[in-house]
Amino acid sequence: MKRNRILAGAAAAAATALVLAGCSGGGSDSGDGGDTADGELTPVTLQLQWLTQAQFGGYYLAEANGYWEELGLDVEIIPGAVDIVPQDVLAAGDVDFAIAWVPKALASIEAGANITNIAQVFERSGTLQVAWADSGIEGPEDLSDKQIGSWGFGNEWELFAGLTEVDASGYTIVQQNFDMNALLNKEIDAAQAMTYNEYAQLLEAVNPETGELYQPEDFSVIDWNEVGTAMLQDAIWANSDRLADDPEYAETAVKLIQGAILGWIDQRDDPQAAADAVTAAGSTLGTSHQLWMANEINKLIWPSSSGIGHINEDQWDATVEMALMTKNQDGAQVITTDPPEGSYTNEYVDEAIANLEADGVDVLGESYEPIEVTLTEGGN
Amino acid sequence: MVGVLALAVLWELYKLVGPADGWLVGAQEGVTGSGIRLLPRTSDQAMPHTWDMVARVIEPVTRAQGALPLGVVVLLAALTSLGVAALGWLVGVVVGFALALLMLGFRIAERAVLPFVILSQTVPLIALAPLIRNWGSRLEFGAFSWESWMSVVIIASYLAFFPVAVGALRGLQSPDAAHLDLMRSYAAGWWTTLFRLRLPASVPFLIPALRLAAANAVVGTVVAEISVGFTGGIGRLILETAVAASSDPAKPWAPILGAVLLGLVAAGFVALLAAFLSPFRRQETVA
């Protein structure tokens, strides 16, 4: 038995060492502690919706370029995972701020989450429904009696709003994977895709008929922004109670937004820098795919109609209205009653924008032009 | 090694013989998605050639400057997961053994605890993982704060303790009545009986339990990583590379093979442990 115990002890030591080695790169202090003396940085945690990628490039640039540090914040960016629902993690008090899509957050608010949208970073929706060019699917009205791919889990509402609007019927919703193989193999007629991710996956795949990469002409795309059923996506959410009761937290919210905006401006002016920053932060996505994503994300933000992050009332109302009206294939809907007062506020983002404009920062990006990204096979 | 080679040959053989588009039964002309697929596709996208996978492992993970070869990235991730899984295994073994001792010592504990031990394994992992993450993140005392790798360890140990608890109990109860009577005739106490008779006798039952626990710990680690957002491990890498399935089909296979390797290493580790315990095993067979 003795030998066994020694071996177990050695195994434990080795395991602990391995674990420590594995964690040391992650920046592991969570930022709930209130032990900040004057002059020290305020620890802040920011929960993302998904893995480290250029979709969140502005935040990684804000950190890499020290914008938050200059404002006195020590922000820890926490990547998402399959079972992490950012707005619920936020409502549970596990993080200080979270990134989430508005319809998903509205559902959580109705379920009791006390959270507030403090900055609508993406002004446009990045969701597409992609079909083959020769399928005859040009708009949502053509989706009747078709096999429609969707990820579900709150990602499907724009699709259903579109289907409801044109009274489509007889369609089947198929649970879609992370890849686009179902569409490429013609198992479904139309696949859900984000402009910045899955659509690029299609254009990085080799067309077995030509031996070349697929081209945009090979596909027809339904863009919910054009159909008019786009809903607001990535926004920064804060804890409503803490905003109301804790002046220090409210001040942190302004600084967080301010630093993030500077990061997003850097991504606008140099998408390659954003792609590099997220790759440095541990993303294993291919280089051309990452640059494509950075560029497509820019298109969702810039040019900004009323300053990046400012929540446009008409867009908010449209999202809420669709959330109230739309039913998915199970008859569920996002929300049943209007969201409570204080589900969004421009108080903090406007202060951040005013601070930046006073420094001569361009928060509108009126002259923004996207770059041309050439995708390579596999996005590598 | 021979097994791996055989698997590769089998893979290529099916790829050669099987229809590129698989075999579909009951498909209706012009209706997308109809029919039932009985044989999987063999296209390069669905089943990349084994040599393409090997070539991909040597290539850098991305074209970014200083990017490591995919294989190295996979190995590093597997090593991280191995550490977490080993810790989960250890916790699971300790907890499982403690439970077995408790159940051995108190008949009433066996009646009370065993059903719950069995019940615990019917809770689906995907329901459990977010709960553990949430509870864990509430814990905070002093300088200690909950890290996501701890959630992964807990989930891995949750799967690992079960076979140990059941196997160890069975093993500890395995001595014949005659042996127990002999110990009693020596006026040996409960603890003496435990160390002299029951523990050695439990070894043959314990070793397969430990092996099962190791496999469970690895599975638990990989699934938990995907679920709770622990970065740097092999499960996370599987999730990250899944998006390349359409455009770089060989890439997602690398971390999957890495996970298999992880399982093999874990199994090897237990085999090593079994070798250390073999003297007790012989004693059992002699008796």
**How far, in Å, CA of A250 to CA of A345, rounded?**
12
Structure tokens at B191: 């603890």
pLDDT category of residue B116 using cuts at 50, 70 and 90:
confident
The answer as to whether B128 is a domain residue is: yes
Across the range A19-37, mean pLDDT stands at 40
Do residue A186 and residue B239 have CB atoms under 8 angstroms apart? no
Asked whether the beta carbons of B251 and B70 are under 8 A apart, the reply is yes
Mean residue pLDDT across chain A:
88
Identify whether the C-beta of residue B88 lies closer than 8 Å to the C-beta of residue B153.
yes
For residue B49 the two structure tokens come to 């050639």
* Domain that residue B121 falls in: 84-286
Note whether A51 contacts B240, CB cutoff 8 Å. Answer: yes
Name residues 270-299 of chain A within 8 A of B (Cβ): 276, 279, 282-288, 290
Closest partner residue to B32 (CB to CB) among A83, A94, A147 is: A147
Q: Is-contact A77 A46, C-beta < 8 A?
A: yes
Q: Tokens in use for B9?
A: 């040959």
Could you state, in order of their start, the residue ranges of all structural domains in chain A? Answer: 42-123+231-379, 127-227
Q: Per residue in B183-232, pLDDT tens?
A: 888 888 888 888 888 888 888 899 999 999 999 999 999 988 888 878 88
Calculate how close chain A gets to B169, using CA atoms only, in Å.
18
Determine the distance in angstroms separating the CA of B195 from the nearest CA of chain A, rounded to an integer: 9
Nearest to A159 by CA among A108, A212, A222: A222
Question: pLDDT of A57-66, one tens digit each?
Answer: 999 999 999 9
Count CA atoms within 13 Å of residue B62 on its CB side.
22
pLDDT in tens, A230-251: 999 999 999 999 999 999 999 9
Q: Indicate the CATH number for domain A42-123+231-379.
A: 3.40.190.10
Residue B152 lies in a domain: yes
Question: Residue B17 — very low, low, confident or very high, per pLDDT cuts 50/70/90?
Answer: confident
Residues A83, B130: C-beta atoms closer than 8 Å: yes
> 3.40.1410.10, 3.40.50.300, 3.40.190.10, 1.10.1740.110: which CATH number matches A127-227?
3.40.190.10
Alpha helices in chain B (DSSP H): 2-17, 50-58, 70-105, 107-120, 125-138, 148-172, 177-185, 190-193, 199-228, 234-241, 253-276, 278-286
The predicted-structure confidence for A182-217, as pLDDT tens digits, reads as follows 899 888 999 999 999 999 999 999 898 898 999 999
Q: Write out B20-51 in H/E/C secondary structure.
A: CCCEEECCCCCCCCCCEEEECCCCCCCCCCHH
Chain B interface test: which of A19, A130, A172 (most B C-beta within 10 Å) = A19
> B199-228 and B125-138 helices cross at what angle (nearest 10)?
80
Cβ proximity of A257 and A118 under 8 Å? yes
Chain A, 192 to 231: residues with Cβ < 8 Å from chain B are 197-198, 201-202, 204-206, 208
User: Is-contact A356 A262, C-beta < 8 A?
Assistant: yes
* pLDDT above 80: residue B39: no
Percentage of chain B beyond pLDDT 70 is: 91
Q: Please judge whether A181 and B199 are an interchain contact, meaning their C-beta atoms are less than 8 angstroms apart.
A: no
Lowest mean pLDDT among A26-40, A192-206, B42-56: A26-40
**Are B86 and A15 in contact (CB < 8 Å)?**
yes
CB contact under 8 A, B243 and A178: yes
Question: Could you give the number of structural domains in chain B?
Answer: 1
Q: Whole-prediction pTM value?
A: 0.82
Region B3-10: what's the mean pLDDT?
84
* pLDDT at position B143: 67
Whole-Å CA distances, B53 to A156, B60, B116, B242, B250: 34, 13, 44, 15, 5
Per the CB < 8 Å rule, is B133 touching A204? no
pLDDT of residue A119: 97
A7-17 per-position pLDDT tens digit: 444 444 444 44
* Integer Cα distance of B216 and B121 in angstroms: 11
> How many CB atoms are closer than 10 A to CB B280?
18
Asked if residue B220 belongs to a domain, the reply is: yes
Q: Has residue A28 got a pLDDT over 60?
A: no
What pLDDT is stored for residue A5 in this prediction? 44
Of the given ranges (A24-28, A326-330, A365-369), which has the lowest mean pLDDT? A24-28
Helices in B173-242 by DSSP H: which ranges?
Answer: 177-185, 190-193, 199-228, 234-241
Give the nearest chain A residue to B196 (CA atoms): A1
For residue B113, the domain's CATH number is 1.10.3720.10
Q: What pLDDT, on the 0 to 100 scale, is given for residue B140?
A: 67
Two structure tokens written together for B94: 């300790």
Closest CA to A98 of A84, A82, A112, A83: A84
Give pLDDT tens digits for A281-331: 888 888 899 999 999 999 999 999 999 999 999 999 999 999 998 888 788
Segment B69-87, tens digit of pLDDT: 888 889 999 999 999 999 9
A157/B147: higher pLDDT: A157
Shortest CA gap A279–chain B (Å): 8
How far apart are the C-alpha atoms of A51 and B240, rounded to whole Å?
7
- Reported as a single tens digit per residue, the pLDDT across A113-140 is 999 999 999 999 999 999 999 999 999 9
**Is residue B75, in this structure, part of any structural domain at all?**
no
Q: How far apart are the first and last CA of chain A?
A: 53
Write down the pLDDT at residue B239: 86
Q: Is the pLDDT of residue A37 over 50?
A: no
Pairing of strands A127-132, A219-223: antiparallel
Q: Pull the structure tokens for residue A310.
A: 């400012």
3-state class of A378 per DSSP? helix
Please list, in sequence order, all residues whose beta carbon lies within 8 angstroms of the beta carbon of residue B253, skipping any fewer than 6 positions away. B48, B53, B56
Query: Is B132 part of a structural domain of the chain?
Result: yes
Nearest to A108 by CA among A49, A158, A151: A49
Q: With respect to residue B56, please indicate whether it lies within any of the assigned structural domains.
A: no
| Residue found by looking up tokens 């013609």 in the block | A186
B125 to chain A: closest CA residue: A83
